[in-house]
Amino acid sequence: MSKIVSRNVNRRDFLKLGGIGIAAAIVPTLISQQSKASSPLAGKNLAMVIDLHRCVGCGSCSIVCKNENNVDGDVFWSSRISKTTGRFPNVRFEYITTLCNHCEKAPCVRACPTKAMHKGDGGITKHDPDKCIGCRYCIAACPYGVIHFNAGKSHEFWRDDKPLIEGATPSAREVTQAVNGKVIPYYNPARELDKPGTGLRKRGIVEKCTFCDHRVSKGQLPYCVEACPTNARIFGDLNDPNSEVSRILGKFHGMRLKEELGTEPKVLYVRTYSTGTHPKTKGSV
Amino acid sequence: MTENKTFNSRFIVWMVILLAGLGLGIWGVVTTFLSGLQTWGIGDEVPWGIVTASYVFFVAASAGCITVSLGHALGIKGFDLIIKRGVFLAIITMIAGGLLIVMHVGNPVNLWRLITAPNFGSPLGWLVIFYLLYLILLIIDFYLIHKKDFVKARIFGILAPLSAITVHSTLGSVFGFASVRHYYGGAFAPVYFIVIAVVIGTALLLFVTNLHYKFNSKSMSSEMRSVIVSLGKFLGIAIGVLAIFVIWKNLTGLSNPDPSTVKAYQYMLAGPGAWWYWILAIGLGLLAPLILIINRNTRTPNGIMLASGLSIIGMLAARFDFTIGGQVIPIFEDLQHIQQPWADYAATFTEVSIVVLAFSLTALLYTWGSRKLALEEVAEHV
Ligand code: SF4
Ligand code: SF4
């Protein structure tokens, strides 16, 4: 769509046709469409395949996400469903690592009254901290429990004066001061480069996984994908038939969480977590 | 509240209570602004708590008061006696509701975006627009009645109730739209909300009108008495209709194929929420007032005042149940960073103080209005 507009219609045509008033409304749209076309992610349909058979349930994805995105201690952009099921002695441990599904038909985007939650290039569900009013309707609407509301200031821990061991260790605040005091000790400034406010999310607004848009737009993989020791998280463009994700989904059925809701998640799971096999018998009556 | 505008001792006690409530509420507002919503009991599992529930209550009260006043525009006998008070109550409850919603959001500095760049795909986006439109209609309606321009007031007497129904059913859709939270009832929510509004609004109008006469030790004219009694009967019918809704909501909820929905209903009917649900929401909100209204001996202005008072308390509790019921069961079973098998939500003192502020503000505005705006004036039919 954006290509057609930029080829056939220029700004002057619009001014002639529609008058200044109408053009004033349309021009910004055109400009944004043109800039969209130049975005490295435009036209892509980004997705993550999680191979549960490769996953060992180590939780690295959840931890490294915190480093990369400055996510606070009790907040999880990347989380997991884990449970022990069955009946002794036939029990099984299940582990499904989760994140924002970047739903094609995202209920959070539909719910958000200010368009703070929106679909960005590559199909990423993004959040604009400058538009968010903190109404938490997105949390009520998201079927996957992946949005976090910052009720207080983030990283309160690093403002604490109490040392872990009296007389032996420094307090968290002292550690923070040692690294110039403005930000948390493990702060990653890269998170913030594209848009101020996305590095340390302020009080009163929500936050969630961004598919590491700050990395992906530079041609890097999301950090959880990069850090997964077993290559269980695989990332790519579904519009490209040669991408790894497309190939895998050609071979295996991609299971999506709460598929019946029609949210069309872009996080797809293949195979199962269990590493067990079973003997080649037909069973018995 | 006194008609003779004297500062008798009763009035002084009343004002002291209200100002104390106002003071407490202002403390709550300041605490919330200084320390953020971490001073509240809400979190990722239960993002909407008692303030949101009270917001629904106040909007319902407003929409209900004005819907009942449709009786005046339709020329029903006796409604001319209560319409002015009804419209005024609708305005001040809407103002209190506005205060609650501003407090509800975590980042109110961005609220202007709701007007300049709303998302028309979101029911919450629509709600704000309908809300403002409704408030404007209400104020014009009241102004015309106050200026005794009953011909024009009649038009607004129809427009305002229509927009009230729009506002409150849109608010219902805000909940219904969160379709994974089956407790909110999906498409059923907007209709359910209209019935609730009628009950709360009628109860509030009856309670305040009765209280007004009691407080000022005035006796009611026989005409006024008969309006109160017939409006009381209407309240009984509305509660009866609501009771049918409640029964079916619970029965269909308990037989929902989704196990987490069944758990939410079990939580309310037989779990940790049960005493609150049965005693306050059902007992005080529905059963007690119904008995008082059905019984001929208690179907008097006094009995109706008691019935409407109990119903108001019960309905407020029920809003809380409703709001919490949709959130208490985790949206995803076994998701490790959220509480299982249900979320703990307890309103904090700060949250409650903000609800107290909304009630104190409504009562204060009413007191001012009843002294300055001649609310007992008859709005003639034309
Ligand atoms: S998983 Fe939730 S937050 Fe992510 S896009 Fe879907 S609805 Fe939105
Ligand atoms: S909390 Fe922010 S992002 Fe979520 S719905 Fe409200 S305004 Fe939108």
- DSSP-assigned letters across all residues of A88-148: TTEEEEEEEEE-----TT-HHHHH-TTS-EEE-GGG-EEE-TTT-----HHHHH-TT---E
At B240, list the tokens.
């009866």
The answer to whether the beta carbons of residues B172 and B85 sit under 8 Å apart is no
Residue numbers of the domain that contains A14: 2-31
| Residue A150 is assigned to a structural domain of this protein | yes
Q: Give the total number of structural domains in chain A.
A: 2
* Residues A6, A102 within the same domain: no
- Alpha carbon of B338: minimum distance to chain A alpha carbons (Å): 8
Nearest CA to ligand 2 atom 2: A132
- For CA atoms A269, A270, A271, A275, the dihedral sign is negative
CB contact under 8 A, A133 and B180: no
Chain B residues lying within 8 Å of A152, measured CB to CB: 35-38
* Residues A22, A47 within the same domain: no
Grouping H, G, I as helix, E, B as strand and the rest as coil, residue A235 is strand
Q: What is the pLDDT of residue B379?
A: 64
Tell me how crowded residue B84 is: count the other CB atoms within 10 A of its CB.
Answer: 24
CATH number at residue B163: 1.20.1630.10
| Residue B339 is assigned to a structural domain of this protein | yes
Distance between CA atoms of B275 and B280, rounded to whole angstroms? 8
> What is the tens place of the pLDDT at every residue in A197-219?
888 899 999 999 999 999 999 99
Mean pLDDT of chain B: 90
ipTM associated with this complex: 0.92
> What is the tens place of the pLDDT at every residue in B155-186?
888 899 899 999 999 999 999 999 889 999 88
* Residues A20, A99 within the same domain: no
Q: Helical H runs in B147-188?
A: 150-177
* Residues A95, A137 within the same domain: yes
Distance between CA atoms of B114 and B364, rounded to whole angstroms? 29
- In the reported structure, the alpha carbon of residue B335 is separated from the centroid of ligand 1 by a whole-number distance in angstroms of 15
| Residue B3 is assigned to a structural domain of this protein | no
Higher-pLDDT residue of B152, A2: B152
* Residues A247, A120 within the same domain: yes
Q: What is the pLDDT of residue B382?
A: 57
The pick from A117, A125, A130, A207 for probing ligand 2's pocket by mutation, whose C-beta has the most ligand atoms within 8 angstroms, reads A117
pLDDT profile of chain A (285 residues), mean per 10: 38 42 43 56 96 95 95 92 91 93 97 96 95 96 95 87 89 86 83 86 95 95 97 97 97 95 96 88 92
* Residues A105, A235 within the same domain: yes
* Residues A241, A132 within the same domain: yes
The answer to whether the beta carbons of residues B212 and B1 sit under 8 Å apart is yes
* Residues A18, A149 within the same domain: no
**pTM (2 decimals)?**
0.89
DSSP A22-43: HHHHHHHHHHHHHHHHHSTTTT
> What is the tens place of the pLDDT at every residue in B40-91?
999 999 999 999 999 999 999 999 998 887 877 777 777 878 888 999 999 9
Q: Does B179 touch chain A (CB under 8 A)?
A: yes
| Residue B378 is assigned to a structural domain of this protein | no
Tell me how crowded residue A269 is: count the other CB atoms within 10 A of its CB.
Answer: 24
> What is the tens place of the pLDDT at every residue in B236-294?
999 999 999 999 999 999 999 888 899 999 999 999 989 999 999 999 999 999 999 99
At A130, list the tokens.
């400058």
* Residues A112, A12 within the same domain: no
CATH number at residue A235: 3.30.70.20
* Residues A54, A78 within the same domain: yes
* Residues A217, A258 within the same domain: yes
Query: Which 98-157 residues of chain B touch chain A by CB within 8 A?
Result: 104-108, 110-111, 113-114, 117-119, 121-125, 127-128
* Residues A253, A112 within the same domain: yes
Q: Give the total number of structural domains in chain B.
A: 1
CB contact under 8 A, A134 and B105: yes
| Residue B89 is assigned to a structural domain of this protein | yes
| Residue B4 is assigned to a structural domain of this protein | no
Residue numbers of the domain that contains B155: 9-372
